[in-house]
Structure 1
Amino acid sequence: MITVPGGHVTLSDRRTERSWTVEVAPYLLSAHPLTRADYAQVTTTRPDGGQDGGRLPAHSVSWWDAVRYCNALSRQEGLTPAYRLPHTAETADTTDGGDGEGAHITWDRDADGYRLPTEAEWEHACRAGTSGPRYGPLDDIAWHRGNSGERIHEVGGRRPNPWGLYDMLGNVWEWCWDFYDPEVYGSYRVLRGGGWFDEHWSCRASVRRRSHPTLRIEDVGLRLARSPRP
Protein backbone atom coordinates (compact mmCIF):
# COMPACT_ATOMS: atom_id res chain seq x y z
CA MET A 1 0.00 0.00 0.00
CA ILE A 2 1.23 3.48 -0.92
CA THR A 3 0.50 6.46 1.35
CA VAL A 4 -1.26 9.06 -0.79
CA PRO A 5 -1.12 12.64 0.50
CA GLY A 6 -4.26 14.71 0.83
CA GLY A 7 -5.13 17.58 -1.46
CA HIS A 8 -7.74 18.92 -3.85
CA VAL A 9 -8.81 17.41 -7.16
CA THR A 10 -11.19 18.75 -9.80
CA LEU A 11 -13.35 16.13 -11.51
CA SER A 12 -15.25 16.67 -14.75
CA ASP A 13 -17.89 14.93 -16.82
CA ARG A 14 -17.90 15.43 -20.59
CA ARG A 15 -21.51 14.28 -20.97
CA THR A 16 -22.92 16.97 -18.68
CA GLU A 17 -20.05 19.47 -19.13
CA ARG A 18 -19.97 19.71 -15.34
CA SER A 19 -16.90 20.00 -13.10
CA TRP A 20 -16.54 19.93 -9.33
CA THR A 21 -13.67 20.16 -6.84
CA VAL A 22 -13.26 17.69 -3.96
CA GLU A 23 -10.98 17.86 -0.93
CA VAL A 24 -9.23 14.55 -0.34
CA ALA A 25 -7.78 13.45 3.02
CA PRO A 26 -4.63 11.24 3.15
CA TYR A 27 -5.27 7.54 2.51
CA LEU A 28 -3.58 4.29 1.48
CA LEU A 29 -3.84 2.82 -2.02
CA SER A 30 -2.46 -0.39 -3.47
CA ALA A 31 0.53 0.05 -5.75
CA HIS A 32 -1.18 -2.00 -8.47
CA PRO A 33 -4.55 -3.56 -9.31
CA LEU A 34 -5.56 -6.62 -7.30
CA THR A 35 -4.10 -9.78 -8.85
CA ARG A 36 -5.73 -13.12 -9.59
CA ALA A 37 -3.49 -14.80 -7.04
CA ASP A 38 -4.43 -12.40 -4.25
CA TYR A 39 -8.12 -12.67 -5.08
CA ALA A 40 -7.96 -16.48 -5.02
CA GLN A 41 -6.09 -16.51 -1.71
CA VAL A 42 -9.01 -14.85 0.04
CA THR A 43 -11.99 -16.22 -1.87
CA THR A 44 -10.53 -19.60 -3.00
CA THR A 45 -11.83 -18.84 -6.51
CA ARG A 46 -10.69 -16.86 -9.51
CA PRO A 47 -13.55 -14.73 -10.77
CA ASP A 48 -12.54 -15.08 -14.42
CA GLY A 49 -12.15 -18.86 -14.26
CA GLY A 50 -8.42 -18.68 -14.98
CA GLN A 51 -6.10 -21.30 -13.57
CA ASP A 52 -2.78 -19.53 -14.16
CA GLY A 53 -1.31 -16.06 -14.53
CA GLY A 54 -1.39 -15.16 -10.85
CA ARG A 55 0.22 -11.76 -11.52
CA LEU A 56 -2.49 -10.82 -13.99
CA PRO A 57 -5.13 -8.42 -12.65
CA ALA A 58 -8.23 -10.07 -11.22
CA HIS A 59 -10.94 -9.22 -13.73
CA SER A 60 -14.56 -10.11 -14.47
CA VAL A 61 -15.18 -8.89 -10.90
CA SER A 62 -18.50 -7.16 -10.24
CA TRP A 63 -18.78 -4.20 -7.90
CA TRP A 64 -20.50 -6.52 -5.43
CA ASP A 65 -17.66 -9.06 -5.74
CA ALA A 66 -15.25 -6.20 -5.02
CA VAL A 67 -16.92 -4.98 -1.81
CA ARG A 68 -17.30 -8.55 -0.54
CA TYR A 69 -13.62 -9.17 -1.21
CA CYS A 70 -12.70 -6.02 0.73
CA ASN A 71 -14.67 -7.19 3.76
CA ALA A 72 -13.29 -10.73 3.58
CA LEU A 73 -9.69 -9.53 3.41
CA SER A 74 -10.30 -7.12 6.28
CA ARG A 75 -11.61 -9.92 8.49
CA GLN A 76 -8.70 -12.16 7.51
CA GLU A 77 -6.22 -9.50 8.64
CA GLY A 78 -8.09 -8.56 11.82
CA LEU A 79 -9.28 -5.19 10.53
CA THR A 80 -12.71 -3.65 10.85
CA PRO A 81 -14.70 -4.22 7.61
CA ALA A 82 -15.47 -0.98 5.83
CA TYR A 83 -18.81 -2.07 4.41
CA ARG A 84 -22.03 -3.05 6.12
CA LEU A 85 -23.92 -5.43 3.84
CA PRO A 86 -27.26 -7.18 4.25
CA HIS A 87 -26.74 -10.66 5.66
CA THR A 88 -27.92 -12.25 2.41
CA ALA A 89 -25.33 -10.30 0.42
CA GLU A 90 -22.25 -11.66 2.20
CA THR A 91 -21.79 -14.60 -0.20
CA ALA A 92 -20.83 -14.59 -3.86
CA ASP A 93 -24.06 -16.38 -4.80
CA THR A 94 -26.09 -13.22 -4.29
CA THR A 95 -26.04 -9.61 -5.47
CA ASP A 96 -27.03 -7.49 -2.50
CA GLY A 97 -29.94 -9.26 -0.93
CA GLY A 98 -32.47 -9.07 -3.71
CA ASP A 99 -32.54 -5.90 -5.74
CA GLY A 100 -29.00 -5.72 -7.08
CA GLU A 101 -29.03 -1.97 -6.67
CA GLY A 102 -26.70 -1.43 -3.75
CA ALA A 103 -29.14 0.71 -1.80
CA HIS A 104 -28.72 -1.34 1.37
CA ILE A 105 -24.95 -1.09 1.71
CA THR A 106 -23.27 1.52 3.90
CA TRP A 107 -19.63 2.53 4.28
CA ASP A 108 -18.24 2.90 7.79
CA ARG A 109 -15.79 5.74 7.21
CA ASP A 110 -14.17 5.17 10.61
CA ALA A 111 -13.25 1.57 9.78
CA ASP A 112 -9.62 0.68 9.09
CA GLY A 113 -10.45 -2.18 6.71
CA TYR A 114 -9.96 -2.44 2.97
CA ARG A 115 -12.31 -0.64 0.62
CA LEU A 116 -12.66 0.78 -2.86
CA PRO A 117 -11.30 4.27 -3.47
CA THR A 118 -13.74 7.08 -4.01
CA GLU A 119 -13.74 8.56 -7.48
CA ALA A 120 -11.97 11.68 -6.19
CA GLU A 121 -9.34 9.57 -4.41
CA TRP A 122 -8.77 7.59 -7.59
CA GLU A 123 -8.21 10.62 -9.82
CA HIS A 124 -6.09 12.38 -7.19
CA ALA A 125 -3.84 9.30 -7.00
CA CYS A 126 -3.73 8.84 -10.75
CA ARG A 127 -2.63 12.41 -11.39
CA ALA A 128 0.00 12.27 -8.62
CA GLY A 129 0.53 16.00 -8.76
CA THR A 130 0.62 16.22 -12.56
CA SER A 131 -1.77 18.43 -14.51
CA GLY A 132 -1.99 16.85 -17.96
CA PRO A 133 -4.38 14.15 -19.25
CA ARG A 134 -1.80 11.48 -18.30
CA TYR A 135 1.15 11.24 -15.95
CA GLY A 136 3.54 10.24 -18.76
CA PRO A 137 3.73 9.05 -22.39
CA LEU A 138 0.89 6.57 -22.89
CA ASP A 139 2.95 3.67 -24.26
CA ASP A 140 5.36 3.97 -21.32
CA ILE A 141 2.71 3.90 -18.58
CA ALA A 142 -0.28 1.89 -19.87
CA TRP A 143 -1.43 -1.24 -21.68
CA HIS A 144 -4.05 -0.06 -24.18
CA ARG A 145 -5.43 -1.21 -27.50
CA GLY A 146 -2.45 0.16 -29.41
CA ASN A 147 0.22 -1.85 -27.55
CA SER A 148 -1.47 -4.63 -25.56
CA GLY A 149 -1.89 -7.16 -28.36
CA GLU A 150 -5.55 -7.06 -27.31
CA ARG A 151 -4.89 -9.03 -24.14
CA ILE A 152 -4.45 -8.41 -20.44
CA HIS A 153 -0.95 -8.10 -18.97
CA GLU A 154 0.73 -8.72 -15.62
CA VAL A 155 0.55 -5.84 -13.17
CA GLY A 156 3.52 -3.52 -12.84
CA GLY A 157 4.80 -3.97 -16.37
CA ARG A 158 4.65 -0.30 -17.30
CA ARG A 159 6.23 2.76 -15.69
CA PRO A 160 4.60 3.94 -12.42
CA ASN A 161 3.34 7.45 -11.79
CA PRO A 162 5.36 9.88 -9.60
CA TRP A 163 3.83 8.41 -6.42
CA GLY A 164 4.82 4.82 -7.26
CA LEU A 165 1.40 3.62 -8.46
CA TYR A 166 1.35 1.21 -11.41
CA ASP A 167 -1.33 0.67 -14.06
CA MET A 168 -3.47 3.60 -12.98
CA LEU A 169 -4.19 3.90 -16.69
CA GLY A 170 -4.78 0.92 -18.97
CA ASN A 171 -4.78 -2.85 -18.37
CA VAL A 172 -8.11 -2.98 -16.45
CA TRP A 173 -10.76 -0.46 -15.51
CA GLU A 174 -11.10 -0.09 -11.73
CA TRP A 175 -14.28 0.11 -9.66
CA CYS A 176 -14.82 3.12 -7.41
CA TRP A 177 -17.22 3.48 -4.49
CA ASP A 178 -19.32 6.23 -6.06
CA PHE A 179 -22.57 6.17 -7.96
CA TYR A 180 -22.08 7.50 -11.49
CA ASP A 181 -25.21 9.68 -11.82
CA PRO A 182 -28.11 8.31 -9.73
CA GLU A 183 -30.75 10.60 -11.24
CA VAL A 184 -30.04 9.31 -14.73
CA TYR A 185 -28.36 5.89 -14.32
CA GLY A 186 -29.72 4.70 -10.98
CA SER A 187 -27.37 2.26 -9.25
CA TYR A 188 -24.57 2.31 -11.82
CA ARG A 189 -21.13 2.74 -10.22
CA VAL A 190 -18.06 4.57 -11.47
CA LEU A 191 -15.22 2.90 -13.37
CA ARG A 192 -11.88 4.64 -13.93
CA GLY A 193 -8.60 4.18 -15.77
CA GLY A 194 -9.24 2.54 -19.13
CA GLY A 195 -8.37 -1.02 -20.12
CA TRP A 196 -6.29 -3.16 -22.45
CA PHE A 197 -8.88 -3.01 -25.25
CA ASP A 198 -9.50 0.75 -25.09
CA GLU A 199 -8.34 3.35 -27.56
CA HIS A 200 -5.92 6.01 -26.32
CA TRP A 201 -8.64 8.59 -25.64
CA SER A 202 -10.17 6.38 -22.92
CA CYS A 203 -6.88 6.09 -21.03
CA ARG A 204 -6.83 9.51 -19.42
CA ALA A 205 -7.00 10.61 -15.79
CA SER A 206 -10.33 12.39 -16.23
CA VAL A 207 -12.30 9.75 -18.16
CA ARG A 208 -15.36 8.34 -16.38
CA ARG A 209 -17.21 5.14 -17.27
CA ARG A 210 -20.11 3.39 -15.59
CA SER A 211 -21.50 -0.12 -15.13
CA HIS A 212 -24.22 -1.90 -13.18
CA PRO A 213 -22.84 -3.22 -9.86
CA THR A 214 -23.81 -6.82 -10.63
CA LEU A 215 -22.04 -7.08 -14.00
CA ARG A 216 -18.77 -8.95 -14.48
CA ILE A 217 -16.79 -7.58 -17.42
CA GLU A 218 -13.53 -9.00 -18.75
CA ASP A 219 -11.60 -5.73 -18.63
CA VAL A 220 -12.79 -4.58 -15.19
CA GLY A 221 -10.98 -5.18 -11.90
CA LEU A 222 -10.26 -3.26 -8.69
CA ARG A 223 -7.59 -1.58 -6.61
CA LEU A 224 -7.65 -1.63 -2.81
CA ALA A 225 -7.73 1.46 -0.61
CA ARG A 226 -7.68 1.93 3.16
CA SER A 227 -8.22 4.81 5.51
CA PRO A 228 -5.30 5.40 7.89
CA ARG A 229 -5.77 4.50 11.54
CA PRO A 230 -6.53 7.53 13.74
Structure 2
Amino acid sequence: NLITYPGCMTQLYFVIIFGTAESYTLAAMAYDRYVAICNPLVYNIAMSSQIYCSLISGVYIFAMFCASVNMGFMLRIQFCKSDVINHYFCDFLPLLKLACSNTYVSEMLILVFGTLNIFVPMLTIITSYTSIISSILRIRSRESRSKAFSTCSSHISAVAIFYGSTAFVYLQPSRVSSMDQGKVSSVFYTTVVPMLNPLIYSLGNKDVSVALKKILERKKFM
Protein backbone atom coordinates (compact mmCIF):
# COMPACT_ATOMS: atom_id res chain seq x y z
CA ASN A 1 0.00 0.00 0.00
CA LEU A 2 1.13 3.52 -0.79
CA ILE A 3 1.02 6.51 1.55
CA THR A 4 2.20 10.09 1.10
CA TYR A 5 4.79 11.69 3.39
CA PRO A 6 2.19 14.07 5.00
CA GLY A 7 -0.20 11.13 5.34
CA CYS A 8 2.48 9.02 7.02
CA MET A 9 3.35 11.79 9.51
CA THR A 10 -0.35 12.37 10.24
CA GLN A 11 -0.88 8.65 10.85
CA LEU A 12 2.11 8.56 13.22
CA TYR A 13 0.81 11.62 15.08
CA PHE A 14 -2.54 9.99 15.80
CA VAL A 15 -0.93 6.63 16.65
CA ILE A 16 1.06 8.43 19.38
CA ILE A 17 -2.03 10.28 20.67
CA PHE A 18 -4.28 7.23 20.90
CA GLY A 19 -1.52 4.93 22.21
CA THR A 20 -0.61 7.37 24.99
CA ALA A 21 -4.26 8.03 25.79
CA GLU A 22 -4.94 4.28 26.05
CA SER A 23 -2.06 3.91 28.50
CA TYR A 24 -3.31 6.62 30.87
CA THR A 25 -6.95 5.61 30.45
CA LEU A 26 -6.08 2.16 31.80
CA ALA A 27 -4.46 3.88 34.81
CA ALA A 28 -7.59 6.01 35.33
CA MET A 29 -9.71 2.84 35.20
CA ALA A 30 -7.50 1.26 37.88
CA TYR A 31 -8.07 4.31 40.09
CA ASP A 32 -11.80 4.03 39.42
CA ARG A 33 -11.78 0.41 40.64
CA TYR A 34 -9.71 1.41 43.66
CA VAL A 35 -12.35 3.96 44.70
CA ALA A 36 -15.21 1.54 43.96
CA ILE A 37 -13.75 -1.26 46.12
CA CYS A 38 -11.79 0.59 48.82
CA ASN A 39 -14.08 3.62 49.29
CA PRO A 40 -17.52 2.56 48.03
CA LEU A 41 -19.44 5.01 50.24
CA VAL A 42 -17.84 8.04 48.58
CA TYR A 43 -17.69 6.60 45.05
CA ASN A 44 -20.46 8.78 43.58
CA ILE A 45 -18.73 11.90 44.92
CA ALA A 46 -15.11 10.91 44.22
CA MET A 47 -15.87 9.69 40.69
CA SER A 48 -18.54 12.13 39.55
CA SER A 49 -19.15 12.85 35.85
CA GLN A 50 -17.21 16.11 36.21
CA ILE A 51 -14.14 14.24 37.51
CA TYR A 52 -14.48 11.67 34.71
CA CYS A 53 -14.48 14.49 32.13
CA SER A 54 -11.46 16.12 33.78
CA LEU A 55 -9.53 12.83 33.80
CA ILE A 56 -10.22 12.06 30.15
CA SER A 57 -9.53 15.66 29.09
CA GLY A 58 -6.20 15.59 30.97
CA VAL A 59 -5.30 12.26 29.35
CA TYR A 60 -5.87 13.57 25.81
CA ILE A 61 -4.19 16.95 26.43
CA PHE A 62 -1.07 15.17 27.69
CA ALA A 63 -1.24 12.68 24.78
CA MET A 64 -1.35 15.58 22.29
CA PHE A 65 1.62 17.19 24.05
CA CYS A 66 3.68 13.96 23.74
CA ALA A 67 2.71 13.56 20.09
CA SER A 68 3.55 17.20 19.25
CA VAL A 69 7.01 17.05 20.88
CA ASN A 70 7.89 13.76 19.16
CA MET A 71 6.59 14.88 15.79
CA GLY A 72 8.44 18.20 16.02
CA PHE A 73 11.74 16.29 16.00
CA MET A 74 10.60 13.60 13.54
CA LEU A 75 9.79 16.26 10.94
CA ARG A 76 13.41 17.47 11.05
CA ILE A 77 14.76 14.06 10.03
CA GLN A 78 15.79 13.51 6.41
CA PHE A 79 14.60 10.23 4.87
CA CYS A 80 16.65 9.13 1.87
CA LYS A 81 17.70 5.48 2.31
CA SER A 82 14.51 3.90 0.96
CA ASP A 83 10.84 4.61 0.40
CA VAL A 84 9.68 1.20 1.70
CA ILE A 85 8.59 1.05 5.35
CA ASN A 86 9.20 -2.35 6.95
CA HIS A 87 5.93 -2.23 8.88
CA TYR A 88 2.20 -2.26 8.31
CA PHE A 89 1.74 1.36 9.46
CA CYS A 90 3.93 4.43 10.00
CA ASP A 91 5.67 3.91 13.32
CA PHE A 92 8.77 5.44 14.94
CA LEU A 93 11.32 2.66 14.71
CA PRO A 94 10.64 1.56 11.09
CA LEU A 95 10.83 5.22 9.98
CA LEU A 96 14.10 5.81 11.83
CA LYS A 97 15.60 2.87 9.89
CA LEU A 98 15.12 4.94 6.70
CA ALA A 99 16.77 8.09 8.05
CA CYS A 100 20.06 9.40 6.69
CA SER A 101 20.38 12.21 9.26
CA ASN A 102 21.11 12.01 12.99
CA THR A 103 18.27 10.30 14.88
CA TYR A 104 19.78 10.39 18.38
CA VAL A 105 17.33 12.99 19.77
CA SER A 106 14.29 11.16 18.39
CA GLU A 107 15.53 7.83 19.78
CA MET A 108 16.05 9.41 23.22
CA LEU A 109 12.58 10.97 23.10
CA ILE A 110 11.04 7.60 22.23
CA LEU A 111 12.86 6.02 25.16
CA VAL A 112 12.01 8.84 27.61
CA PHE A 113 8.35 9.18 26.65
CA GLY A 114 7.99 5.42 26.29
CA THR A 115 9.35 4.91 29.81
CA LEU A 116 7.19 7.73 31.20
CA ASN A 117 4.00 6.63 29.44
CA ILE A 118 4.40 3.01 30.49
CA PHE A 119 5.86 3.18 33.99
CA VAL A 120 3.82 6.10 35.40
CA PRO A 121 0.47 4.44 34.51
CA MET A 122 1.86 1.05 35.58
CA LEU A 123 2.90 2.50 38.95
CA THR A 124 -0.60 3.95 39.35
CA ILE A 125 -2.14 0.59 38.46
CA ILE A 126 0.16 -1.39 40.79
CA THR A 127 -0.48 1.03 43.68
CA SER A 128 -4.24 0.88 43.09
CA TYR A 129 -4.31 -2.91 42.91
CA THR A 130 -2.12 -3.29 45.98
CA SER A 131 -4.76 -1.39 47.96
CA ILE A 132 -7.58 -3.27 46.19
CA ILE A 133 -6.12 -6.72 46.98
CA SER A 134 -5.50 -5.67 50.57
CA SER A 135 -9.15 -4.58 50.89
CA ILE A 136 -10.48 -7.73 49.21
CA LEU A 137 -8.50 -10.01 51.53
CA ARG A 138 -10.14 -8.31 54.50
CA ILE A 139 -13.60 -9.20 53.19
CA ARG A 140 -14.97 -12.19 55.09
CA SER A 141 -17.65 -13.26 52.65
CA ARG A 142 -16.31 -15.56 49.91
CA GLU A 143 -19.05 -14.42 47.52
CA SER A 144 -18.16 -10.75 48.04
CA ARG A 145 -14.46 -11.49 47.50
CA SER A 146 -15.23 -13.36 44.30
CA LYS A 147 -17.39 -10.48 43.05
CA ALA A 148 -14.65 -7.96 43.82
CA PHE A 149 -12.01 -10.03 42.01
CA SER A 150 -14.26 -10.49 38.96
CA THR A 151 -14.67 -6.70 38.79
CA CYS A 152 -10.90 -6.34 38.34
CA SER A 153 -10.04 -9.43 36.25
CA SER A 154 -11.07 -7.98 32.89
CA HIS A 155 -9.08 -4.80 33.47
CA ILE A 156 -5.97 -6.74 34.55
CA SER A 157 -6.16 -8.82 31.34
CA ALA A 158 -6.32 -5.71 29.15
CA VAL A 159 -3.45 -4.10 31.10
CA ALA A 160 -1.18 -7.15 30.74
CA ILE A 161 -1.69 -7.44 26.97
CA PHE A 162 -1.37 -3.72 26.22
CA TYR A 163 1.61 -2.85 28.41
CA GLY A 164 3.43 -6.08 27.62
CA SER A 165 3.34 -5.49 23.87
CA THR A 166 4.10 -1.73 23.99
CA ALA A 167 7.02 -2.17 26.42
CA PHE A 168 8.51 -4.83 24.13
CA VAL A 169 8.42 -2.45 21.14
CA TYR A 170 9.40 0.93 22.58
CA LEU A 171 11.61 0.31 25.62
CA GLN A 172 14.69 -0.61 23.62
CA PRO A 173 16.85 1.34 21.13
CA SER A 174 15.98 0.96 17.45
CA ARG A 175 19.36 -0.63 16.64
CA VAL A 176 18.66 -3.43 19.15
CA SER A 177 15.01 -4.17 18.41
CA SER A 178 13.91 -6.60 15.73
CA MET A 179 11.46 -5.23 13.15
CA ASP A 180 9.71 -8.60 12.76
CA GLN A 181 9.21 -8.91 16.53
CA GLY A 182 8.10 -5.28 16.63
CA LYS A 183 5.47 -5.93 13.97
CA VAL A 184 4.03 -8.85 15.93
CA SER A 185 3.88 -6.79 19.13
CA SER A 186 2.36 -3.85 17.25
CA VAL A 187 -0.43 -6.10 16.00
CA PHE A 188 -1.31 -6.83 19.64
CA TYR A 189 -1.58 -3.26 20.90
CA THR A 190 -3.11 -1.72 17.75
CA THR A 191 -5.45 -4.52 16.60
CA VAL A 192 -5.79 -7.45 19.00
CA VAL A 193 -6.26 -5.41 22.20
CA PRO A 194 -9.03 -3.16 20.75
CA MET A 195 -10.75 -6.26 19.33
CA LEU A 196 -10.48 -8.13 22.65
CA ASN A 197 -11.54 -5.20 24.86
CA PRO A 198 -15.31 -5.55 24.21
CA LEU A 199 -15.07 -9.30 24.90
CA ILE A 200 -12.81 -8.89 27.97
CA TYR A 201 -14.98 -6.22 29.61
CA SER A 202 -18.34 -7.73 28.69
CA LEU A 203 -17.40 -11.11 30.22
CA GLY A 204 -17.22 -9.30 33.56
CA ASN A 205 -20.93 -8.64 33.20
CA LYS A 206 -22.99 -11.33 34.93
CA ASP A 207 -25.76 -11.35 32.30
CA VAL A 208 -23.25 -11.76 29.46
CA SER A 209 -21.46 -14.59 31.30
CA VAL A 210 -24.75 -16.44 31.89
CA ALA A 211 -25.77 -16.00 28.24
CA LEU A 212 -22.37 -17.29 27.04
CA LYS A 213 -22.63 -20.36 29.30
CA LYS A 214 -26.09 -21.13 27.89
CA ILE A 215 -24.77 -20.88 24.32
CA LEU A 216 -21.85 -23.20 25.08
CA GLU A 217 -24.10 -25.72 26.84
CA ARG A 218 -26.51 -25.67 23.92
CA LYS A 219 -23.65 -26.44 21.50
CA LYS A 220 -22.55 -29.39 23.61
CA PHE A 221 -25.98 -30.99 23.31
CA MET A 222 -26.18 -30.41 19.54
What interval of TM-score do these two structures reach, taking the shorter chain for normalisation?
A: under 0.3
Compare CA radii of gyration and give the structure with the larger one.
2
Which of the pair is proportionally richer in helix? 2
TM-score by length of 1: 0.26
TM-score by length of 2: 0.26
